[in-house]
Structure formats: structure tokens, C-alpha cells
Amino acid sequence: MLLPIYIYGHPVLRKVSEDITPEYAGLSKLLDDMWQTMYESDGVGLAAPQIGKNIRIFVIDGSPFEELDPDCKDFKKAFINAHILERSGDDVPFNEGCLSIPGIHEDVMRKDRIKITYRDENWVEHVEEFTGTRARIIQHEYDHLDGIVFTDHLSALKKRLLKGKLNNISAGKFKQSYRVVLPK
């Protein structure tokens, strides 16, 4: 089922998400719906807060970046109860966008190496290191679990320059091809 994307300014995007238990009702269907919603919305990742749920889940398919970073080939994962343990390496800029902030793309600095613990859809625990574009995609989606959106990483000047556009997005003045939930 296609789920609506919650848009910038909605309070659900600013809350810190909670871990879930293996007994979480409907987890398999939720993951299926998240994958479908992400693909139909032309995203490379989708976090549970973006669909109105403050739980620590996100899904990623980095294959659209395969040409830029061959490590993204077949990089498709669900991250449940994700917690970044370490960020290291160089700060690297990359132009990011977000389904919850349609039409805005800005350069964001992020570390190029992370270590993360998470459970997969079969509830198997993993502790892994990721580098490059994979680390960037994970950090972007992970931020949503902590109530952070990519524009929070921008300079004060850039935020002021974007304020009008962000206010328009919160007011529903934008074009998109997917269903949305606007802030009240």
C-alpha cells in the first residue's frame, strides 16, 4: 500500500524515534509498504517518521548511485532499531534532497565513514561499517530517526535564504507526484 509522505513542518519529523520489539504488529507489511512508497516516490531511502511513525526503521536502495559509487550496486537494506556507533573520516559535501522537503536540494557535509548497529527484517543483529555514498544515504535516513532533516545541517545564511521556500512547502505550495500529509 502506498503511504503518504509527511512534509517539512509536521511535528512527527522532529520527534526522536523509539526502538521496537520483535513483536511489533504488522512489521512485515509496514516494511513492504515502505519499500513500495519509496520506489513510487522515486526515493533512495525512506524513514518511518516520513510516514508518520516515530519508530527506528528506515529502508534504503542505493542502486541509483551505482554509477557514482559501485559499492551502491545491490545496496538494498532495511534498518530496524538502528544506532550509529561512530562517525569518522573526512567531511564530504554532497547535494541532497528529501521526499519530505520536495524541490529543495543543497550541499550537505557528512562524514564518509560510519559504524552502525541495527537489526534486519529477519531480526538478525548486525554491526557494520559503511563508507562513501552508502554511509551518506544511511546518515540522511538515520537523521530522520533523531528528528533531524538535511536542511538542519546547512549554514545559518543558507537556512535564511531557504526560509521562504520551506514555508511554502509547509503550506503545501509545491508540486510532487506522491500523496502527502501537510503540517496542521
67 is catalytic: no
CB 16 within 8 A of CB 103: no
Whether residue 98 is annotated as binding a ligand: the answer is: yes
DSSP assignment string, 114-137: EEEEEE-TT--EEEEEEEHHHHHH
* Residue 105 annotated as lining a ligand binding site: no
Phi, psi of 45 (to 5 degrees): -160, 155
Whether 30 contacts 50, CB under 8 Å: no
Comparing CA positions, the residue from 91, 128, 132 lying closest to residue 111 is 91
Is 10 annotated in a binding site? The answer is no
Catalytic residue selected from 18, 106, 129, 141 = 141
Spatial CA neighbour of 87 closest among 120, 119, 110? 110
Nearest C-alpha neighbor of 57 from the set 141, 1, 132: 141
Residue pair 130/138 in contact (Cβ under 8 Å)? The answer is yes
Binding site, by residue number, is 98, 140, 144
Catalytic sites, residue numbers: 141
- Binding site for Fe cation: what residues are annotated? 98, 140, 144
